[in-house]
A = this chain, B = another copy of it.
Amino acid sequence: MQEKLTLMIPGPTPVPEKVLMAMGKHPIGHRSAEFQHVVQRTSELLKWLHQTNNDVLSITGSGTAAMEAGIINTLSKGDRVVCGDNGKFGERWVKVAKSYGLDVEVVKADWGQPLDPETFKELLDADFEKKIRAVILTHSETSTGVINDLETISKYVHNHGKALTISDCVTSLGACNVPMDDWGIDVIASGSQKGYMMPPGLSFVAMSKRAWDANKDSDLPKFYLDLKQYQKTVVKNSNPFTPAVNLFFALQASLEMMQQEGLESIFNRHGRHRDAAQAGMKAMDLPIFSATGYGSPSITAVAPKNIDAEILRKAVKDKYDILLAGGQDHLKGKVFRIGHLGFVSDRDVLTAIAAIESTLVSLGINNSNLGAGVAAASKFLN
């Protein structure tokens, strides 16, 4: 049977019919009053989602563009930064920072382990000359399904007094609590194809007052990603360059749906899905890849022992048309990842577990306790 795909990857995530319909409308002029209303409304809702009074700027581009914008709009060539790296996206920010000639100190943790906040604290405490300009890290590491302790690290950065916290919240925003102002995060980058329940194509950068202060001294060259141009126009409910008008229609529709559900309810749903997915996998004797207590609310990475993860993943796709994500880089074949991010219901999670369970049997993998995965997950869904 064709055309009945279910996405359970960490992006693109499933998109509600209402959002697709909004996106499929005829475009309108991006300098029209009608479009200004869309920008005004989405700007308000973006502040709500980020739990902030800061402006949240929308860029036509991927999450990487937003993250790069956060870095190049606050820092200067040669600036010392500390970069957390415990997965593919942590690695990416190290690359971005080095591309722009920053002086990067990398704090590593093994893939599957969280970053240790105390290592950041030690580096920050030892920086008497206040040379560290930013701590750059990924909140939810999509490649490993690990959530880092952004709250604690951000607190340590504040105690330092000079450095900024620049965070990739691409798969945490809209999935768990990321209160920008309360936690004092200076830059938050996110992307539309994640918790936003939208197709890819828009990304978002929120900048604190401290980040804008740092912007004044930033000397890295930029044009399309020059956030000052976005700041100047957003107050007029406009954009510096032609934005992806139809994606803005989708953004308004999806943010309104999110507001209707409520932040608390969204966060609970994602937490429940993580717990259900983890319990289901463990009951099937499939080990969770992320360290205990550090499972991301949006991705569960699983490291099966008796079967190549790619074989299992492909079999689930072929038989049940559920697309799971594979392992990246050295984790290819070792790990598969269940995306439970965005427009994902309890039914979807239960279905994915049932499909994995059924597929394991069809692949002849020993599973003496058939039904155990669904039973274990159900407990968290009821």
Binding site for B on A (CB under 8 A): 5, 7, 9, 11-12, 14-15, 20-21, 23-30, 32, 60-65, 68, 95-96, 99-101, 191, 193, 199-201, 220-226, 241-247, 323, 325
Q: Looking at chain A's contact residues, is the secondary structure mostly helix, strand, loop, or mixed?
A: loop
A245 touches B65 (CB 8 A): no
Nearest to A20 among chain B residues (CB) is: B24
Inter-chain CA distance A145–B21, complex, in Å, is 34
A246: which of B7, B28, B201, B224 is its contact (CB, 8 Å)? Answer: B201
Which residues of B lie under 8 Å from residue A29 when comparing CB positions? 7, 9, 12, 323, 325
A65 touches B221 (CB 8 A): no
Inter-chain CA distance A201–B225, complex, in Å, is 15
Known: A28-B5, A60-B200. A12 touches B245 (CB 8 A): yes
Nearest to A14 among chain B residues (CB) is: B26
Which residues of B lie under 8 Å from residue A242 when comparing CB positions? 11-12, 62-63, 191, 193, 200
B323 touches A224 (CB 8 A): no
| Further 19 A-B residue pairs, CB within 8 A, beyond A99-B222, A201-B244, A244-B244 | A5-B26, A9-B29, A23-B246, A24-B24, A27-B199, A29-B323, A60-B65, A61-B224, A62-B224, A62-B243, A65-B224, A99-B223, A193-B242, A199-B244, A199-B245, A199-B246, A200-B245, A200-B246, A224-B225
Which residues of B lie under 8 Å from residue A200 when comparing CB positions? 27, 30, 60, 242-246
Inter-chain CA distance A201–B198, complex, in Å, is 14
Which residues of B lie under 8 Å from residue A222 when comparing CB positions? 99
Nearest to A59 among chain B residues (CB) is: B61
Which residues of B lie under 8 Å from residue A223 when comparing CB positions? 64, 68, 95-96, 99-100
Inter-chain CA distance A257–B7, complex, in Å, is 29
Which residues of B lie under 8 Å from residue A243 when comparing CB positions? 62, 200-201
Closest Cβ of chain B to A85, distance in Å, is 16
B221 touches A99 (CB 8 A): yes
Which residues of B lie under 8 Å from residue A7 when comparing CB positions? 26-29
Which residues of B lie under 8 Å from residue A63 when comparing CB positions? 241-242
Which residues of B lie under 8 Å from residue A100 when comparing CB positions? 221, 223
A-B contact pairs, 16 of them (CB 8 A): A7-B26, A11-B242, A12-B245, A20-B24, A21-B24, A60-B62, A61-B65, A62-B242, A63-B241, A64-B224, A65-B241, A100-B223, A101-B221, A201-B201, A201-B244, A244-B244
Which residues of B lie under 8 Å from residue A245 when comparing CB positions? 12, 193, 199-201
Which residues of B lie under 8 Å from residue A221 when comparing CB positions? 99-101, 220-221
Which residues of B lie under 8 Å from residue A201 when comparing CB positions? 60, 201, 243-247
